[in-house]
Structure 1
Amino acid sequence: MIRTLIAASLFVISTSFAAFSNDVTHTVVDFQDLEDWDKDDHEKALDAFLVTCPDLNDPDWSALCALAQQKPDAKGFFELFFRPVIIEDGDPALFTGYFEPELSGSLSPSARYRYPLYRQPPESVNAGLWYPRRVIETSNVMTGRGLEIAWVDDPVELFFLQIQGSGRVKLPSGRMIRVGYQGANGHEYRSIGAELVRRGVFEAHQVSAQVIKNWVRRNPVAGQELLWSNPSYVFFRRVDSVPAERGPLGAMNRSVTTGRTIAVDPAFVPLGAPVWIEKEGANPIRRLMVAQDTGSAIKGAQRADVFMGTGDTAGREAGRLRDPGRMVTLLPIQRAYAMETEPGL
């Protein structure tokens, strides 16, 4: 999914009209109802909360952030000042994973590093539909304009970098540079995984990022055509303000935390809020995380994307994560009870 920075208005901890519709319920529960709550490392959750809570300009949350900055006992802090709220819209919970890709590249082209990672051309910013992927990659529309940020050695990894929207490039010296989403060409994203299923190459349950990468590399001609079947193209910017050892910027314009940040739908779950995760599946997760990111595919009250980290290992873990479960949002006490759905409604 393409991750973009959210406007400052989303920093206000509030709930949109969608969360107040008749189809959405808010149920306050006890901390003892959270499975394995006592076993979590609440200090790590508090550290993640502190990354973004200073940006919350709602009085309730600002007061809680001030208390959190005094580094109280983390478990007691959450239990004393929050109440768990199950927010539901009728759809079942779904957890997926995302990660930050790491590519090998160079600041100058060579026989190995041949695939450019571009800044956005000025004329494309307000153009609506600009040139599709095939034209951008096969014509001279980008040539000789100094728009290259770096050159990488793998066009398949570059394609998936565009899907994620941010990543790191490791230079031959070992130095890292970070890039983030700047803009796109205006064309609708088309899933190449869905295209492979449509062609009968794979069944839907067989498709993953790694499966697609392997198929494209085994079939270079057909694979290139497959990549071109997605006309959407993403342009990047250097993100030098974030040290390479820290996580990429999320929707709140702060670094996300591996295993403690989730992307949510801010129409239901306020950005910056702690969220208790009960993910089922082969590798269950019982953990307090923080809603610090969004994503174009993350829609619904019980929908979350877990940030798994940077690099290939994180990418494989993220690609395998697609599980049911439950998410419970921690809200300030007075807000939790004010939003609680009355019985029978």
Structure 2
Amino acid sequence: MGACGSVMQDEALKEQARIHRQIEKSLEKKKSALLEQSVLLIGPGESGKSTVLKQIRAMCGGYTKHELEEKKLLILRNLWTFSDMLLEYVIKNYLDMNEADKKKYKVMIEELKFCVMSGGHMADELAETVKVFWLCAPIQEAYEKRSTYHLTDSAGYFFENIDRIKMPDFQPTNQDIVRIRVPTTGVVTADVILKNIKLSVIDCGGQRQERRKWYHYFDDVHAVLFVAAISEYDQKLVEDETVNRMDEALNLYHIVFNGKYFTKAACILFLNKIDLFREKVKSVSIKKFHPGFEGTNTAEDGAKYFRRKFRDGMHPDFKKRLYCHETCAISDQVQIIINTVIDTVVQENLKDTGMI
């Protein structure tokens, strides 16, 4: 009987241990789930959303060798596209360029296209032609007018780095990668590990025709990061030349944060391209494009005005959960802000679950 009781006791202890292990395993899963955070990255086209995602990738170990090879081709593609846009502007606006040079640069553009299509790199002769093209007066004049025909500011960066880009062993740096311009179409999701957090970042295309896809991702996200280019207060949409880009960003922001969606998610606003904004306000009036602006035409007053405009149109429930940052997404310093944002997202969600 004693032996039988001992066996039964042993079996009971084993069963208790098994149940304890199951409970511990379940708790570990719950703990793990709390550290899985999802961020929806949205905003109008050309705002810098994808650049923010690239910075997050850089913080998490960067890119594979295969991905870097793809980035090299994208840089060449950008050079091809930028060259074509610049020359087209020169021709359409009758800037002072002789016919021989026009013909030479059209051939150059075709050679850049061939480099992209063949997956090769620039020969020295082609690179020298690109450098001469970039430095010639009509092209520089066209570049100065870039905001009127949607040429990105990154164009100058790549032209000025031709000597490095042309090298057969060229490896893109993080600064190269964040300046690559490829419009986001559809939805791009990146799952990364950052600060012991499994972070799922969902980057949705910002062009008007892409926005209908956003609503599929409005449920169950822990944070919404809305990116607006503050420097584009004087520019028009690519899709609609009658609409001011800042007005579009404000309208879109207020639709998203109208109280119907994201009732528990943290709301983060990046007023991006602050570096360009600080330069632009030195020569371009804010009031001319935004008559409600009453301050001095300075970066400080302008940023304060636009922050208020974004905040004022929000549903009251969101205002206390809004975190606004002025950013320059191409600068590695934005990684400090991203770290702060991630801490904020985690803290807000731990509060919601009663953990803190």
TM bin (shorter chain): under 0.3
TM-score for the superposition, normalised by structure 1: 0.24
TM-score for the superposition, normalised by structure 2: 0.23
Decide which structure has greater helix share. 2
Structure scoring higher RCO (CA < 8 A, sep ≥ 6) equals 1
